[in-house]
């Protein structure tokens, strides 16, 4: 899956923060361009990051194991992409994967609620 490869490139290039606390800190500092949540993350984790993301796009794809493996680490529930072009490439690849693999017209570009 291309979007998982792109996560690996983001990690290697230093444009990715992983883990709950690291991602929350990056969001507080306004440096995040994309939040990637694992489909099997807890509902509490998902709610926390959707709220913290504010105007940052949130993508929910892959499992915690797949996200961790993509960046060469143990399972991760959340990843944050810190570079705009890398974030756009991951969104595009994720949209392509969803359209082709699942045959849907849904898109993963969603902005978290403003609540």
Q: Identify the CA nearest to 5 among candidates 96, 99, 112.
A: 96
In a domain, 30, yes or no: yes
In a domain, 114, yes or no: no
Average pLDDT, stretch 31-53? 96
What CATH number has the domain bearing residue 85? Answer: 3.30.1330.30
- What is the sign of the dihedral through the CA atoms of 48, 58, 33 and 56? negative
pTM: 0.84
Buried residues in 8-27 as b, exposed as e (16+ CB within 10 A): eebbeeebbbbbeeebbebb
Average pLDDT, stretch 82-89? 96
In a domain, 75, yes or no: yes
pLDDT computed for residue 1 by the predictor: 72
In a domain, 115, yes or no: no
pLDDT at 110 over 90: no
Domain count for the chain = 1
> For residue 102, what pLDDT band results from cuts at 50, 70 and 90?
low
């Amino acid at each position: 899956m291309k979007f998982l490869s792109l996560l690996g490139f983001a990690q290697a290039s230093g444009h990715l923060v992983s883990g709950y606390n690291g991602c929350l800190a990056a969001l507080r500092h306004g440096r995040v361009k994309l939040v990637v949540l694992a489909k099997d993350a807890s509902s509490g984790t998902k709610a926390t990051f959707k709220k913290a993301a504010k105007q940052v796009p949130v993508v929910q794809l892959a499992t915690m194991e797949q996200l961790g493996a993509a960046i060469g680490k143990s399972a991760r529930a959340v990843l944050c992409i810190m570079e705009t072009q890398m974030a756009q490439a991951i969104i595009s690849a994720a949209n392509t994967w969803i359209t082709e693999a699942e045959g849907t017209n849904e898109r993963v570009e969603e902005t978290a609620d403003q609540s």
